A and B are shown apart, each in its own frame.
Chain A
Amino acid sequence: MKKIINLKRYTILLSFAFLTIVGCSKEFLDEPKNTDGVTSDVVFSNNSTVEAFITGILRNFRSQYNLVDSAGLQSIYFARTIKGNDLIQAPSWYLFDYSHENREPNYRRTVFNWDFSYEIINQANTLIQGVTNSTTLDDAAKKEYIAVGKTLRAFYYFQLALDFTPNYTTNSSISRLPIYTEPATGESEGNPTSATSEVYSLIISDLKAAIADLSANRLGKSYINKAVAQGILARVLLVTQDDWALASSSAREAYGGDAAAAVPSTSYGTGFLDMSDPEWIWAMYQDQVESTYYYGAPANFTDHISAPAFYKATYINKNFVNTFSDTDERNLFFDLYGSSTPYREFITTKFSFTLEEDFAILRKSEMVLIDAEAQYHLNNESAAHDLLYALQKDRDPNAVKSSNTGQALLDEILLERRKELYGENGVEWFDLKRYKKPIVRDDVHRVVLTVPADSPLWWLKIPEKEIDANPNIDDSINNE
C-alpha cells in the first residue's frame, strides 16, 4: 500500500512540475512587449504614421540636444549670428563662438553641429527608404514624402557645408564631408569624404526633385511644402552663385511674386514670436507643452526685459544701430543699462523670450532680397531697386528708392539683409563668407578682432570622435 501511495506522490509531483514549467514557457517569455515605441513596419504602413515620423524629425529641429548652446537648429544659427560685427556677446553662453575660438575637433560646437546635422540626415534617409519600400502607401503619397525627405536632407547637408567647408566659390574641390543617402545599419562603417562640389550637387538635385513633387499643402507652418524647398534652394544658390536666374525664380515663387504684398510683417514690435505672421514661410513652432525652454536662441540672449529671460547677454554694435533711421519700424534699440562699458550701450527688443516663441527659419522678405540680389547679378539694376524699395518702404515710411549702382547697390542690398534678418540665421556671417570678405570688428566690441577672408576660422574642424571611429577619415583632414 505504501509503495502505491509513494508512486502516486511521484506521479503527481512530476506532472505538476511538467505542467507548470514546460507547458507555458514559450508563451510566458513572449508576453512582454516593447511599449516604448512603434516599429518600422507600422511607421511606413499608412499616411498618418509617416506624417508622425516627419513630425518627429521636425520636432527634433529644436530638441534639447546637448546644452544651451548646442540644442537644435537655433544653436547653429545663433553661433553664426554672434560671429559677426553687428551683435556683441557678453561672456556668457556662445562666448567662444563670439571670440572665434570654438572650432577645435573636441569642442562642443564642432561635435554638436556635426552630430546633430548628420542625425537628421539619417532620419531623412530612413524616411526616404522606408517610404520607397512601403507596399501600402500609394504613389502620390510616396512622391510627396520622399520630397519632404530630400528637402530635409538637403537642408542639413547645406548646414554642414556652410559650417565645415571653406567658401564654395573659393574652393569647392576640397573633400571634408562624407555623404550618405542610405540609412545607417549595424554594418555601417563610415563613408569617405566627398568634394564640397559633390555635396552641393546632391543638395541642389534633392531640392530640384523635391520642388517638382511638393505642393503648397502641409500640416502647418513648421512643415515642408513647395515654397520651403524653393526658399532653401534660393539660399543655396546665393552660395554657389552660378545660377542667378534660378535663384530669382525660386525666391520669387517662394514669396509669391508680388514683393509689396509679401513683405508686410506683423512681427516687428510684437517680439518675432508668432509664426502665423503671413510674411513667414517656414518656422519652428513652440507652445506651452512643446517648448525647448531655455535652449531657445536668439530670444533668451537678446531679451533683457521679459520676466522669464535670464541670460541677457547680447548687445548691439552702436555702428549697426546707426544704420537704422529713426522712422524705421525695425529701430528697436535702446540704452537700457546706462553702463560705462561701451559694448553694453544698446540692446534690441526685436525678439521676446516667452518659452513659447516660434523661431523663423525662412521669411518672404529674405526671398525678396534674394530676388533683388539676383536681379543685380543679372544686370537688372532697376528691378533690384524696385524689389529693395518694396521692403524698405514697408519698414520705413520715409524710405527713399535707391539710386545706387554697381558695388554700392550690392552693398546696399547686403546691408538691408543684415537690417532685416539680424539675430535670426547669421546673415552677416553668411554674406561675408560667400563674398570672401573679412569680419572686421569695430572697437566697441568686447573682443575686437579681424577674421581675414577665407581664413580657416570660417570653418570648423572635423570632430576627433568622427576621425577615431571612421576608418575612411584620418587626422590629416584637419591639417591646415
Chain B
Amino acid sequence: MKRKLSGMLTLFLAFVVQFTFAQEKTITGVVSDESGLPLPGTTVLLKGTSTGVSTDFDGKYSITASAGQVLVFSFVGYTNQEVTVGASNTINVTMQEDVSALDEVVVVAYGTQTKQSIVGSVGVISDAVIETQQVTSPLRAIQGAVPGVNLLTQGGQPGNNPEIRIRGFGSLNASQDPLIVVDGAPFNGNLNTISQDQIESISVLKDASSTALYGSRGANGVILITTKKGTKNTAPKLTFRSQIGISNPTIGLHDLVKSEDYLKLNWEALKNTNQYVNNQSPTDAAQNATNQLIDYVGYNPYSVSNPIDVNGNLVAGANLLWETDWEDVLLNDDALRVNHNVSLSGGDDKSTYFMSIDYLKDQGPVIRSNFERVSARLNLESQVTNWLKAGLRTSFSRSNSGNPDQTSGSVQQVISYIYGVAGIYPIYVRDANGALIRDSGGNLIYDIGDGYIVGQPVNSVRSTFGGENVLATIMLGEEKRKRSNFLGNAYAEVKLFEGLTFKTNFSYEQYLFDLFSFNDDLVGFAAGIGGRISQQRDITTTVNAIQSLNYNKDFGNHNLGLDLITEAYTFNYDYLNAQGTGYLAGVEVLDGRTVPEDVGGNLNAERLNSYLARVSYNYNKKYYAEFSGRRDGSSRFGSDVRWGNFFAAGASWVVSGESFLNNSNILTYLKLKGSYGELGNNQVLDALGNQVYFPYQSGFNLGWNNEGNTGVLLSGVADPFITWEKTASTNVGLDFELFNGALSGTVEYFNKESIDLIYDKPLPSSTGVSEITTNVGSIKNFGWEASLKSNILNTDDFTWTAGLNFSLIENEITELTQDEFINGSKLWKVGNSIYDFYIRDWAGVDPADGRGMWFLDIEDAEGNVIDKVTTKNYNEATRYQQGSSIPDVFGGLTTYLRYKQFDLNILANFSFGAQLLDTDYSGLMNQFENPGNPIHPDNFNRWQNPGDITDVPLLLASNNDHAGRSSRFLVDNDYVRLKSLTFGYNFPESTLNRFGVSRLRLFLQADNMLTWQSHKGIDPEQSFNGLTNNRSPLSKTITSGVIVEF
C-alpha cells in the first residue's frame, strides 16, 4: 500500500512540475511599528489561505503572491494591515498598535486560523509563556495557563508526564487523555522526549467545532504542539541559553515519631490489646506488654533488653544505639539541574531553517532518580517553485533516566518504604546486642530484615518489608530507562489553481523504550539466587499520512473555504522482554544469567482510516460559520461496528463590527460564538490503564505453562459489538475588550455529554469474571471558563499586565443500565459525579472505651431510613456519599512587570473545593496491628482513659478498622502554587551592539517555590479520583540563567 502511494505521488509530482504560474512573483518588504523600528516576527499571510511567513529580526519578509492577492500583516498587539498586491514587488508596512490582538494566527486542526475567525474554543500558549517555566515534560507548561485544563503530575520522578483532563472527565474506562498532535501528526512516543525550547506554540482545542476534524479521537480535547521554524530573509541567528540551579522536594512528607515515642506507643497498643481485647488485668497487661514489645517489633535499638517499663516509660539508663531517618537517607537535597541549549535559525528568500540542540540533566526528589536528555531538531522549508512548497521537520531525542520506583504500591517503592519501615530498623546488620556486624572485608552489610545471622533472636527478622531494604535496592541495583525518539515529518504543498491547494503530509515516528532493572543478590526478591535482571525493550512506530485539498475564495464580502482530507494512521507496538537470575558478582548484563527465567514478546497493531470535510464561510469578517464532518474506521472494533460518523458546526458574530458599536470607546471589541458537535473515543483501557487493542475479542492468553507443557488461560468475557464512545459537545462564549484593551477576555459555557461510554461493567465475581468492557451509560460535564487579561500600565519604562483564568466544572452521571455501580471509594449512579466519594462516615471516638465509631442508618421494613445511629462495627456502618475529588474552581494567575531593562514574570495555579482521601496518612495512624509500621505524631492525641475526649481512638496491637476508609481521612485539598517566577535583566542593545551581540539576558527562574495548601504532608497534586498512592512530591527548582544571541 505504502509503495503504491509513494509511486503515485512521484508520478503526480513529476506531472505537475511541468507547469508554472506566470502571474506569481516574490514580494519583499519591511514591516515597522509607528516609531519606525522594525517588527520582527510579524506574520504575513496570503489572505484566504493558510500560507504565510514571518518577518525576520530586521522586520524583513519575502512571500510569493500573485497580483490581486491580499497580504495580511498581523502582529500581537497591532491592528492587522491588509495590502493588495499590485505591480510593485516591494510592500513596506507600518503597523498600528492595537492591544486587542485578535488577528493573531493560531494553529488549529489541520491548518491555521486568525483568532478572530475561530468559532470554537481554543487556548494557546506561546513560546513566551513556555520560556518562563522549567518543564522537563513540556506539557506541564499549560498548567494554570489555559482555562478548562485540569492538569496534575503524579510523583516527582523527573520527566514524568502530567495527567491532563480537558473540560472534565468524559470517560470511564476509555482513556480521558487528550489527543496529542505534533506538527500535524498524532504523537505516540513519550512527551518527555521533546524539549521545551523547540516549541513555538501549544494549542489546546476544547470544543466540538475546533476538535471536530480530529473527531474520532477528539472527545477529550486535542493538544497541538507546533515546533519552531526559521523566518525568511533573516541573517543567521545563534542563540545560546544556559541554566544551572538546584532542586528540592516541594513538600515534606508526613511527620513520623522518633524511636522512644515509637516504642512507648507500641507498648501502649500491646497493653491495650492485652487488657481490652484479651481481658487481662491492667497489671498483667502492662507487664506482658513490657515483655512482648521487643519480640513484637523484632528489633531493639536500646541498650537494655526491655527498654519500656511497666508504666510505659523508658527505663533509666537505656541508651539509644541507632535511629534511622529513612526520609533523610532516601530523599535528595539540593540536587543539581542543568540545561544548555543552542539554536540557529534563519532563511533566504526561498528557504528557512531552524536547528536546535538541547541538553538537560535533572534530578528528582529520590536518590538516584534523574533524567538526562539530549534532543535535537532540524526544521527546513523551501518554496521550491512559486507553486510548490516542501518541508521536512525532524527531531531526535535520547534520554537516560535513573528511575527508582516512587509512585507505585510495591515494596521496593521509596515512599512506601519510608511510610512502611520505622526508624528503629537499622540500615546495616547488627548483632543481638545492637553492635554493627561487618563482612570478611570489613564492610558494613545492608540489613534486609531476613535474619542475616541464622538463629539470631533479636535485630534479625523484620516483619514489615521483610527481605527488603530500599536503600540497598537502590544503591546496589539499577533502575534505568532509556528512551530514544525519532520523529520525521515531510510535507509538500502544491497550488493547483488560484485558491485550490493540495497538501500531502507524511510523518513517521519511532520510539524506542528500554527498561533495565537489576536486583542485587544481597537484597529483596533476588536475594540468595544470584541477583536478577529484567529487561524490556519496545518499539512504538507510528506512520501517518494526510492528503488534503483546500479551496479558498473571496466573492466580494463573502469568503468561502473548503477542505477535503483523508488520513491513514498506523500504529505498531513491538514488545520484547527477558529476565534471568544467577549472576557473578559485578556482572550486570543478561548474558551472565545462569537461569533464563522468562522471555516474552508481542506485537500489537492499530489502524485508523478517516475521511474529513470542512466548510467555512464568513461575511465581511463579521459573521462566521463552519461545518465539518468526519468518518472513521478503527481496527479496535469489530468490522460491523467499526465506522463512526462525527459532525460539528459553529458560528460567530463580531458584534463590535456592527455600526451601533463602531464608535464605542467602552466596549471596543465583542464577539459571540457558539458551536455544537459530536466527537468520538476509541481508546479502550484495561484496569491498569494499558491500551486494549482488541476489546471486542475475548481470548485465551498465552504463557500459562505448567510442567513444561504449553498453557493458555481464558481472559474474561468480551462484548463483540463494543464500539465508539461518543461525546456531544456544546460551547457558547464571548470574547470582549473594554477601554481599548485595558481589560479583555473570554467567557465560555460548555456542556459535554458523553454517551455509550466504554465501561468495565462490574459482574459479581462469583460468575468467575469481575467485569465486561462494553458501551454503557452517559456522563455530562458542564461548566464555565473565564480568562481575563488586563494591561494595567504601559509606558516606555514601565509595563504591567495581569491575567486570571479559572474554570468551574461539574460532572454528572446521566444514564446507567443498572441502578448503581460501586467503584472502589465511589458510587456511580445517575445524578452523582464519577468522583463523589462513597465511604463510611466517621463518628468520632467513644469517650467511654476509646473505640472508633461510624454512622449507621436504620431502615424500616420498606428500606426507608428511619434513624441514624453510631456503630463500633466498621463493616455494618453505612456508606454515604460525601465530598468529591473534583475541584469547585481551578485556574491560574499571571502577572508581568517590566521596569526599563528589568522584568518579572509570575505564574501561579490554584485549585479549591476538592477533597482527598489521604490513605498515606491513614496508613500512619494507629497501625500498631502491623508491627514495624511507622506512625504519625497525631497518635499522641489518642484516647487513654475513660472520659478522654479525642478524635484518635485507643491504640491497639490487634486487628481493627480504625484506619479503614472513612471520612476520618477525607480532607480538603485546596492549594495555591507559585508555579514559576522569573526575574530577568536585559542588557541595553546599544551596549551590546559594540560587542556584536544582539541580545544578552541574565535571569533567575524559580519553579514551584511556594505551595500553600489546606492539608499538609503530601503534594496536593495526587490524582483526579482523589486517592493517594505513596507518591513522591514534585521538585521545586531555582536556577540562574543566561541567554546570548548573535
- Which residues on the B side are within 8 Å of A141 (C-beta)? none
Is B461 at the interface (CB under 8 A from chain A)? Answer: yes
Q: How far is the CA of A1 from the CA of B889 in the complex (A)?
A: 65
Is B947 at the interface (CB under 8 A from chain A)? Answer: no
User: Nearest B residue to A15 by beta-carbon distance?
Assistant: B8
Q: How far is the CA of A449 from the CA of B846 in the complex (A)?
A: 26
Is B992 at the interface (CB under 8 A from chain A)? Answer: no
Which stretch from A18-26, A225-233, A392-400, A427-435 is at the chain B interface? A18-26
A106 B875 Cβ-Cβ under 8 A: yes
Is B745 at the interface (CB under 8 A from chain A)? Answer: no
**Contacting residues of chain A (103-128) with chain B, CB-CB under 8 angstroms:** 104-106, 114-115, 118-123, 125-126
Map CB proximity to B onto A121-164 as digits: 1 under 8 Å, 0 otherwise: 11101100000000000000000000000000000000000000
Which stretch from B52-60, B437-445, B602-610 is at the chain A interface? B602-610
A101 B706 Cβ-Cβ under 8 A: no
Is A102 at the interface (CB under 8 A from chain B)? Answer: yes
Q: How far is the CA of A308 from the CA of B295 in the complex (A)?
A: 23
Q: How far is the CA of A205 from the CA of B201 in the complex (A)?
A: 71
**Contacting residues of chain A (298-325) with chain B, CB-CB under 8 angstroms:** 304-313
- Which residues on the A side are within 8 Å of B295 (C-beta)? 339, 341, 344
A56 B719 Cβ-Cβ under 8 A: no
- By Cβ-Cβ distance, the 5 closest A-B pairs, closest first, are A122-B768, A310-B450, A310-B467, A190-B764, A307-B528
Interface residues on A, range: 35 or more
A114 B15 Cβ-Cβ under 8 A: no
Map CB proximity to A onto B437-460 as digits: 1 under 8 Å, 0 otherwise: 000000000001111001111100
A37 B772 Cβ-Cβ under 8 A: no
Q: A12-B12, A219-B707, A336-B454 are in contact. List 7 more A-B contacts (CB 8 A).
A: A25-B633, A37-B701, A49-B712, A53-B713, A57-B713, A310-B528, A469-B765
Is A13 at the interface (CB under 8 A from chain B)? Answer: yes
Contacting residue for B765 out of A114, A185, A344, CB 8 A: A114
B713 A59 Cβ-Cβ under 8 A: yes
- Which residues on the B side are within 8 Å of A290 (C-beta)? 705-708
Q: How far is the CA of A71 from the CA of B296 in the complex (A)?
A: 26
Nearest-neighbour CB distance to chain A for B957, whole angstroms, equals 9
- Which residues on the A side are within 8 Å of B463 (C-beta)? 90-92, 95, 313
- The answer to whether A118 and B766 touch (CB under 8 A), given A29-B609, A52-B710, is yes
- Which residues on the B side are within 8 Å of A29 (C-beta)? 607, 609, 633-635, 639, 642
Q: How far is the CA of A115 from the CA of B763 in the complex (A)?
A: 12
Nearest-neighbour CB distance to chain B for A452, whole angstroms, equals 16
A448 B455 Cβ-Cβ under 8 A: no
Is B641 at the interface (CB under 8 A from chain A)? Answer: no
Nearest-neighbour CB distance to chain A for B735, whole angstroms, equals 37
Is B865 at the interface (CB under 8 A from chain A)? Answer: no
Which stretch from A207-215, A362-370, A460-468 is at the chain B interface? A460-468
Is B497 at the interface (CB under 8 A from chain A)? Answer: yes
Is B700 at the interface (CB under 8 A from chain A)? Answer: yes
How many residues of B are counted as interface, with CB atoms below 8 angstroms from the partner's CB atoms? 98
Is A403 at the interface (CB under 8 A from chain B)? Answer: no
- Which residues on the A side are within 8 Å of B710 (C-beta)? 52, 55
A-B residue pairs in contact (CB < 8 Å), sample of 18? A17-B549, A20-B566, A21-B611, A24-B1, A29-B634, A30-B635, A36-B699, A43-B712, A56-B700, A90-B463, A180-B766, A180-B768, A188-B767, A291-B597, A312-B450, A312-B461, A336-B455, A339-B457
Q: How far is the CA of A227 from the CA of B498 in the complex (A)?
A: 87
Is B576 at the interface (CB under 8 A from chain A)? Answer: no
Q: How far is the CA of A57 from the CA of B232 in the complex (A)?
A: 67
B633 A55 Cβ-Cβ under 8 A: no
B461 A90 Cβ-Cβ under 8 A: yes
A59 B461 Cβ-Cβ under 8 A: no
User: Nearest B residue to A311 by beta-carbon distance?
Assistant: B466
Where chain B touches its partner, the secondary structure class is mixed
Is B931 at the interface (CB under 8 A from chain A)? Answer: yes
Q: How far is the CA of A52 from the CA of B701 in the complex (A)?
A: 11
**Contacting residues of chain B (959-988) with chain A, CB-CB under 8 angstroms:** 959, 961, 964
Most buried by A among B448, B566, B704, B707: B707
Q: How far is the CA of A95 from the CA of B9 in the complex (A)?
A: 71
Map CB proximity to A onto B551-574 as digits: 1 under 8 Å, 0 otherwise: 000000000000000101000000
- The answer to whether A180 and B707 touch (CB under 8 A), given A5-B19, A32-B693, is no
- The answer to whether A122 and B959 touch (CB under 8 A), given A91-B931, A220-B707, A289-B597, is no
**Contacting residues of chain B (345-394) with chain A, CB-CB under 8 angstroms:** none
Is A389 at the interface (CB under 8 A from chain B)? Answer: no
- The answer to whether A338 and B455 touch (CB under 8 A), given A25-B633, A34-B693, A106-B875, is yes
Most buried by A among B467, B566, B699, B700: B700
Q: How far is the CA of A186 from the CA of B776 in the complex (A)?
A: 12
Q: How far is the CA of A186 from the CA of B961 in the complex (A)?
A: 35
A28 B609 Cβ-Cβ under 8 A: yes
User: Nearest B residue to A20 by beta-carbon distance?
Assistant: B5
- The answer to whether A310 and B717 touch (CB under 8 A), given A186-B772, A465-B765, A470-B764, is no
User: Nearest B residue to A57 by beta-carbon distance?
Assistant: B713
Q: How far is the CA of A34 from the CA of B694 in the complex (A)?
A: 6
Is A222 at the interface (CB under 8 A from chain B)? Answer: yes
Nearest-neighbour CB distance to chain A for B1026, whole angstroms, equals 19
Is A38 at the interface (CB under 8 A from chain B)? Answer: yes
Q: How far is the CA of A252 from the CA of B309 in the complex (A)?
A: 60
- Which residues on the A side are within 8 Å of B9 (C-beta)? 16
Q: How far is the CA of A478 from the CA of B710 in the complex (A)?
A: 42
Contacting residue for A123 out of B12, B455, B706, B714, CB 8 A: B714
A53 B639 Cβ-Cβ under 8 A: no
Contacting residue for A55 out of B705, B770, B930, CB 8 A: B705
**Contacting residues of chain B (385-435) with chain A, CB-CB under 8 angstroms:** none
**Contacting residues of chain A (161-193) with chain B, CB-CB under 8 angstroms:** 177-178, 180, 183-186, 188-191
Please report B residues at the A interface, Cβ cutoff 8 Å: 1, 4-5, 8-9, 12, 15-16, 19, 278, 295-296, 448-451, 454-458, 461, 463, 466-467, 496-497, 502, 525, 527-529, 547, 549, 566, 568, 595-598, 602-607, 609, 611, 633-635, 639, 642, 693-694, 697-702, 704-715, 717-719, 762-770, 772, 774, 821-822, 874-875, 929-931, 958-959, 961, 964
- Which residues on the A side are within 8 Å of B718 (C-beta)? 186
A38 B702 Cβ-Cβ under 8 A: yes
Is A340 at the interface (CB under 8 A from chain B)? Answer: yes
User: Nearest A residue to B633 by beta-carbon distance?
Assistant: A29
Q: How far is the CA of A12 from the CA of B930 in the complex (A)?
A: 76
A118 B959 Cβ-Cβ under 8 A: no
Nearest-neighbour CB distance to chain A for B873, whole angstroms, equals 9
A311 B467 Cβ-Cβ under 8 A: yes
B959 A101 Cβ-Cβ under 8 A: yes
- Which residues on the B side are within 8 Å of A405 (C-beta)? none
User: Nearest B residue to A461 by beta-carbon distance?
Assistant: B875
**Contacting residues of chain A (276-292) with chain B, CB-CB under 8 angstroms:** 285, 287-291
**Contacting residues of chain A (46-63) with chain B, CB-CB under 8 angstroms:** 49, 51-53, 55-60
- Which residues on the B side are within 8 Å of A51 (C-beta)? 709
**Contacting residues of chain A (330-346) with chain B, CB-CB under 8 angstroms:** 336-341, 344
A337 B456 Cβ-Cβ under 8 A: yes
Contacting residue for A39 out of B457, B597, B700, CB 8 A: B700
Is A355 at the interface (CB under 8 A from chain B)? Answer: yes
B296 A188 Cβ-Cβ under 8 A: no
- Which residues on the A side are within 8 Å of B704 (C-beta)? 55-56, 59-60
- Which residues on the B side are within 8 Å of A468 (C-beta)? 762, 822
Q: How far is the CA of A37 from the CA of B525 in the complex (A)?
A: 29
Nearest-neighbour CB distance to chain B for A467, whole angstroms, equals 9
- Which residues on the A side are within 8 Å of B765 (C-beta)? 114-115, 118-119, 463, 465-466, 469
B707 A285 Cβ-Cβ under 8 A: yes
- Which residues on the B side are within 8 Å of A177 (C-beta)? 766
- Which residues on the B side are within 8 Å of A458 (C-beta)? none
- The answer to whether A312 and B451 touch (CB under 8 A), given A25-B633, A35-B602, A448-B278, is yes
B607 A32 Cβ-Cβ under 8 A: yes
Contacting residue for A309 out of B450, B547, B605, CB 8 A: B450
Q: How far is the CA of A119 from the CA of B704 in the complex (A)?
A: 15
